[in-house]
Amino acid sequence: MAGTTIKGFYMGTVLGMVMLSSMAASCAANFFQDIELTWGGDRGKIFNGGQLLSLSLDKFSGSGFQSKKQFLFGRIDMDIKLVSGNSAGTVTTFYLSSEGPNHDEIDFEFLGNISGDPCILHTNVFSQGQGNREQQFYLWFDPTRNFHKYSIVWKPQHIIFLVDNIPIRVFENEEAKGVPFPKEQAMRMYSSLWNADNWATRGGLVKTDWSKAPFTAYYRNFKATDLVSSSSSSNLFSGSKAQSNEIDANGRRRLRWAQKYFMIYNYCTDLKRFPQGLPPECKRSRF
């Protein structure tokens, strides 16, 4: 984990930086209008005139919601405050997904942990039902004390994962190498809070402490931004399409910083997992 030097470096250089170019056609969501609570009964709640949402997990059930509409390409942002205290065994998710056995999916998953230990941010990309492209990170802050912004930029050229507007991962379109890339299926935004103590914390060694239930995560400031207009999808966006949403030179430096100091697993370096050779998309990246 990063020490005092890295923390100071972050505070002194990251605040106020703009990694991505300006965008248009943004639409800040009202949860009453733009999402539906899909499971968990009254464990999912919407407050403050549609500006705040909570999901809870108890011994009997978790809860979840999804966007009412689908979209093809764009940027989604959500401010999330994760489960506080001892969250071992729980998983909070925020992701895009299409439907069916050959679905596409772009994942943020937050793996709970015992009090004082860092939360693990798990990312993955599925295309045509094929995943196994995991990268995992510690965060450089306590995600349970305040809201933080988590974003997915999904374009035909690449997918960018961001935390507080800092890029932590780029998955490029490598179809020329035979690597499937999600670009044909419209997706919804989903989120859930559920029990996964058979694997989520230390490989399932640490179980959920139900005496701490209910576990609750909070959401606000959901925003969807149209980056590529598409007549083939019914999307959440309005207005003109954005000009661009790319990583600039400062963004590339922040990406390298996040991956150097906070990445704890990368499938592209797991030679034991791929003894016959790493996946083709791992062999070169312009980032």
Phi, psi of 193 (to 5 degrees): -135, 120
Q: How many CA atoms lie within 13 A of 27 on its CB side?
A: 18
Q: What is the rounded distance in angstroms from the CA atom of residue 53 to the CA atom of residue 12?
A: 33
Taking a C-beta distance cutoff of 8 angstroms, is the pair 202, 119 a contact?
A: no
The DSSP secondary-structure symbol of 89 reads: T
3-state secondary structure of 204: helix
**Helices 249-262 and 4-13: crossing angle, nearest 10°?**
160
Catalytic pick from 36, 99, 105, 184? Answer: 105
The answer to whether the CB of 53 falls within 8 A of the CB of 65 is yes
Of the candidates 248, 189, 190, the one whose C-alpha atom is nearest the C-alpha of residue 224 is 189
Does residue 105 have an active-site annotation? Answer: yes
Set 36, 99, 109, 174: catalytic member: 109
Q: Which residues, in sequence order, are CB contacts of 231 under 8 Å at separation 6+?
A: none
CB of 94 closer than 8 Å to CB of 76: no
Q: Hey, which residues are catalytic here?
A: 105, 109
